[in-house]
Amino acid sequence: MKTDYQQILEELYHVIKVKPDAGQVAPYIPELAEIDPSKFGVHLAATSGEQSGIGDHREKFSIQSIGKVLSLTLAFQQRGEVLWDRVGVEPSGNPFNSLWQLEYEKGKPRNPLINSGAIVICDMLCTLYDDPLTELLAFVRKISGNEEISCNKQVAASEKKLGFRNAALINLMKSCHNIDNEIDEVMDLYYHMCSIEMSCEELANTFLLYANHGKLVTTGEPVITSSMAKRINAIMQTCGFYDEAGEYTFKVGLPGKSGIGGGIVAIHPGSYAVAVWSPRLNAKGNSVKGMQLLETLTSKTGLSIF
């Protein structure tokens, strides 16, 4: 029996939308702090081609740390297994910008989805390309099928101006010989990667790559191997929500990634990718209503990886 995703999303959206507001918009990035906290949208793209969405699902927002999956994918595609010599694959169990953990582990980030790990990935891209931002955007546009995806330079500048903690992370890694390029060059790429703007619709269609075993749904073209897609999905499952990864896995049961812009994207291998946006965040930096919607979605459909 075919699942009516549009009907399910509409039902869940209206239930979650009227729940009491909890959490707050990310206060430490001025450009993000100005976002209307009532924004709420969800979009599901199925591997069969079905598209379902409701609410603010076509409005662009800053994807923030969701972009770490995309930069990781490009670096993994280009560098292969040697990538893991410089960054691990274990859940952090700590905040996404932890300094003490990085120092204890001598400058090798626990995984590529925390800030330090994503910075190392950006360093690899700076080594690979003369213009890494242009190459990253070209890659994202290809897998999304949308040539208009770009960065918000105001958001990038806002993050750079107040990025003292990230500066500490990269300087620590540089002292441990895990950063090869100039710090300003690497951080410029990192902040622009975080400032990529996409809608829920665009995010869901982009992440179909991971639901479709590394192949574009539209053409069948392999972008990464199925083994690479499996590994990236595993990292999303165990590391995509920082020190709330266990809670997310327990409640939702899908590989996914969150961002402090209020977005969450998750995939069900072989079936669909779903993106939700609600800017109010919990104490761990994850969208409150986004988590609620995904939990009820997998509970109602019975579709999780477990």
For 286-296, write each residue's pLDDT tens digit.
999 999 999 99
pLDDT in tens, 228-276: 999 999 999 999 998 888 999 999 999 999 999 999 999 999 999 999 9
CA dihedral 198, 39, 65, 181 (to 10 degrees): 60
What's the confidence (pLDDT) of residue 243? 82
Token readout for 191 is 């902040």
- Each residue's pLDDT tens digit, 118-170: 999 999 999 999 999 999 999 999 999 999 999 999 999 999 998 999 999 99
Cα distance between residue 232 and residue 222, in whole Å: 15
Whether 305 has a pLDDT exceeding 90, the answer reads no
Under DSSP, the state recorded for 49 is: S
Complete domains list, the chain, with CATH: 5-64+196-301 (3.40.710.10), 82-194 (1.10.1500.10)
Q: By the 8 A CB rule, do 192 and 22 touch? A: no
Q: What pLDDT score was predicted for residue 29?
A: 82
Out of 17-31, 33-47, 115-129, 211-225, least confident range: 17-31
Q: Region 189-210: what's the mean pLDDT? A: 98
Structural contact between residues 130 and 136, judged by C-beta atoms closer than 8 angstroms: no
Rounded-to-integer distance, Cα 203 and Cα 120, Å: 24
Q: Is residue 84 predicted with pLDDT exceeding 90?
A: yes
CA distance 127 to 265: 29
- Structure-block tokens of residue 18: 């009227």
Phi and psi torsions of 174, nearest 5°: -65, -40
Residue 1 banded pLDDT, cuts 50, 70, 90: low
